[in-house]
Structure 1
Amino acid sequence: MKTMRGPGLFLAQFVGPAAPFDSFCAITRWAADCGYLGVQVPSGAGALMDLEQAAASQGYCEDLAGQAEANGVCITELSAHIQGQLVAVHPAYDAAFDGFAPPELRGKPAARQEWAVDQVRKTIDASARLGLDRMAAFSGALAWPYVYPWPQRPAGLIEAAFDELAARWRPILDHAEEKGVDICFEIHPGEDLHDGISFEMFLDRLDQHPRARMLYDPSHYVLQQLDYLQNLDIYAERIGMFHVKDAEFNPTGRQGVYGGYQSWVDRAGRFRSPGDGQVDFGAIFSKLTTMGFDGWAVVEWECALKHPEDGAREGAAFVRDHIIRVTDRAFDDFADGGADHAANLRMLGLDR
């Protein structure tokens, strides 16, 4: 067993044009003031880091890490969620996802994909220079428009989509292997890797690539009505990152999992700040600790109701209170009477 590291904070939902969220120095100082010990940094957020420099310059990475340390936190991981999304985009989503790419690449799917692959590779390089052995990403999606089996899917459609998805990611994962960095895919609706079975389909096509791992976020499983505790038992060896994000699912006679096209606040399933939803985090922290999970417990604030700064401060305390400092002794050691082989045989009646 290992004592989990944390609390950490994913900065993606906080970076913005106003202080203290507009620079790496200011936002890390703010995160430390909230009670965090680490920050997960989106590699595409130019206000926080220059990915080109981070991928190429050891000195730049040392300066970035030193700045974080001086402000009271460390860099837990880098995230390439946005860039990973663009590694595989179905044409139905071209217009929606063009906003994730630089303006000069919009309307140019092939160039956008090439840029995204390069961005993910640079995030791997930057992670290695920062001394980090894992990073986060979305997988992107080619089959997602066909997630519901109506109209009937033609034979081989999903298989072809996953063949292509794996083909796009294999060279990236091989590069990650060279650099000693795991890519932890967030299992998330909207991605082709949205549950355990789809993750397994991906792994099968990658010959169980050792660098393909999971980012575990129970909130997405609540909204899918998936058993998030059993998921830990099944994928213990593949889980490399952990987002502490809560959710609730309150179906009615009018809507369920699909949400009736409503806004987040009006959906049956919606995200909540840690502790405000239905996720059994006590059980999750216990399972992860028993499994020997060696990563960070990172708060990802997404809530339909609560102000983000309140969620951030409460989240730090929530994680701190849930981290289990593992014991170095058995609780009943005080009653140990001592024994030896001969005594054991006597107790079993085998000394005669």
Structure 2
Amino acid sequence: MPTNIKGPALFLAQFASDDAPYNSLESIADWAAGLGYKGLQIPSGDPRLFDLEKAASSQTYCDEVAGMLADRGLKVTELSSHIQGQLLAVHPAYDKQFDGFAPASVHGNGKARQDWAQDQLLKVAKASQNLGLTASVSFSGSLAFPYLYPWPQRPAGLIEEAFDELAKRWLPVMNAYDEAGVDIAFELHPGEDLFDGATFEMLLDRLNGHARCTINYDPSHFLLQQLDYLAFIDIYHERITAYHVKDAEFRPDGRQGVYSGYQPWLQRAGRFRSLGDGQVDFKGIFSKLAQYGYDSWAVLEWECCLKDAATGAAEGAPFITNHIINVTEKAFDDFADSGLNKDETRALLGL
């Protein structure tokens, strides 16, 4: 039945920096609360904001974090493990680029980097449990994405082998999250092996429908792929456990389409935009999520090639607030209830 979505909330990854007020959880919380946010999605691997090692082992630390945020009218919505999830599965073509996301001690050693990522993901499960959270958000990583376009013709079994291996790496992580009572909500994102509904199902099938394998719904990535992001909710609403509110626009012309011609973000046919500046039908999205009973957080993920981040954050809180539907507790036509009992209703049917 319809339920109220929680929010507005803010994903901190794009805002964290070495400069105040973005360089500590306390100061960035003050800033976010001042803009009207009620929740924060915290990047678990950013030590400026969060001590993952301590959170995984210390209930006291997690209680202190939650208490500090509560004093500011805020809650933790989810912990993000996008970077760690990405590093659980890396195609060799991206080794050098993704080494930069990992500690220097594992650079140049793909297996060591994978082991580090798995350990990090397990710590996120425990930290989420200590914080009383029921979901975390992540990336799937990628072994198959370089072979996205079927030219040259893919060898038989290539994609199947990649997804078999992906499932092998994620299964023990999923089981640990199940023990912690926490979902893994994958952001379906180009560059990851899970980038749409079909690829999500390919992993889900190999995980035998694992209950903790869920979706962080982000319509911006679907609009840029020209996927029907409203129909997506109809199909997968039972698996949507997190929601990134992010806008985008797609402006194809005689030179560019979905692939956007290797152009920089400003010149791409498909671009991420601040909330309200793009083409995403958020009224339709919030309506469908409410209809299907989504009762978790609406979290702004700000990315825009034009607008300043601080402006985007300031505009984002009221935008989300104005789109959250305060769902009705009664039918609009209850006033016209005839009041007939069961026998009288049957009589209407001649029974």
Give TM class, smaller chain. Answer: over 0.9
Report the alpha carbon displacement of residue 72 of structure 1 after superposing the two structures with TM: 1.9
Match of 1:81 in 2: 82
Number of the residue aligned with 1:160:
161
* CA positional deviation for 1:140: 0.2
- What per-residue deviation string (whole Å, max 9, x for no partner) do you get for residues 28-77 of structure 1? 11111111000000000100111000000000000011111112211011
In structure 2, the residue matched to 1:40 is 41
Specify the alignment match of 2:341 in structure 1. 340
1:189-238 deviation per Cα after TM superposition (whole angstroms, max 9, x unaligned):
00000111111110111111110001100000001111101110111111
Give the count of matched residue pairs: 350
Deviations 1:63-107 (A, max 9, x none): 011111112211011000011000000000001111100122211
SS at 1:240 equivalent: strand
CA contact (8 A) 1:76 1:296 kept: yes
* Letter matched to residue 153 of structure 2: Q
Question: Aligned partners of 2:343 and 2:149: how far apart in 1?
Answer: 66
> Shift of residue 13 of structure 1?
0.3
Matches within 5 A, 1:247-286: 247-286=248-287
Deviation at 1:339, TM superposition (A): 1.7
Structure 2: how far apart are the matches of 1:23 and 1:33? 16
Between 1:139-148 and 1:339-348, the stretch displaced more is 339-348
User: 1:345, CA displacement in angstroms?
Assistant: 4.4
Distance 2:193 2:342 in 1: 57
Residue identity matched to 1:97:
F
User: What's the TM-score, normalizing by structure 2?
Assistant: 0.98
CA drift of 1:346 comes to 4.9
* Structure 1: distance between partners of 2:240 and 2:343: 44
CA deviations on 1:85-134 (whole Å, 9 max, x unpaired) are: 00000000001111100122211211111111100110010000000010
The residue number in structure 2 matching 1:231 is 232
Unaligned runs of 5+ residues in structure 2 are: none
Give the whole-Å Cα distance in 1 for the aligned partners of 2:208 and 2:346. 49
Is contact 1:29–1:72 with CA below 8 Å preserved after alignment? no
Partner of 1:314: 315
Verify the 8 A CA contact 1:25 1:71 in the aligned structure 2. no
Measured in 1, the distance between the counterparts of 2:48 and 2:257 equals 39
1:137 aligns with 2:138: yes
Where 2:173 maps in the other structure, the secondary structure is helix
| Cross-structure match for 1:60 | 61
AA aligned to 2:23 is: D
CA distance in 1, matches of 2:154, 2:342: 66
Q: Distance in 1 between matches of 2:346 and 2:191?
A: 61
Cross-structure match for 1:325: 326
Measured after TM superposition, the shift of residue 294 of structure 1 is 1.8
Amino acid at match of 1:201: M
| Structure 1 segment 22-37 matched on structure 2, within 5 A | 22-37=23-38
Q: Which residue of 2 aligns with 1:113?
A: 114
Structure 1: state its 5+ residue gaps.
none
Q: TM-score, normalised by structure 1?
A: 0.98
Q: 1:338 deviation in Å?
A: 1.9
In 2, distance between residues paired with 1:345 and 1:191?
Answer: 56
Once residues 202 and 310 of structure 1 are traced to their aligned partners in structure 2, the CA distance between those partners, rounded to angstroms, is 38
Deviation at 1:343, TM superposition (A): 3.5
Structure-2 residue corresponding to 1:297: 298
Per-residue CA deviation, residues 225-252 of structure 1 (Å, 9 max, x unaligned), is 1110111011111111100000000001
1-structure distance, mates of 2:347, 2:132: 55
Question: Which residue number corresponds to residue 9 of structure 2?
Answer: 8
- Structure 1 residue identity aligned to 2:12: L
Report the Cα distance in structure 2 between the residues aligned to 1:142 and 1:96, rounded to whole angstroms. 14
Q: Is the 8 Å Cα contact of residues 252 and 268 (structure 1) preserved in structure 2?
A: yes
The amino acid of 1:4's aligned partner reads I
Secondary structure of 1:86 counterpart: helix
Aligned to 1:123: 124
Cα–Cα, structure 1 residues 345 and 109, in superposed 2: closer, same or farther, change >3 Å? closer
Query: What is the Cα deviation at residue 275 of structure 1?
Result: 1.0
2:214 aligned with 1:213: yes
Q: Secondary structure at the match of 2:238?
A: coil
Name the SS of the counterpart of 1:236 in structure 2. helix
Shift of 1:347: 3.9
Q: Which residue of 1 aligns with 2:179?
A: 178
For 1:65 and 1:101, the matched residues in 2 are separated by 27
Q: In structure 2, what residue type is equivalent to 1:191?
A: E
C-alpha separation in 1, matches of 2:316 and 2:160 = 40
CA distance, structure 1, for counterparts of residue 342 and residue 158 of structure 2? 64
| Code of the aligned partner of 1:239 | I
TM-superposed deviation, 1:344: 2.7
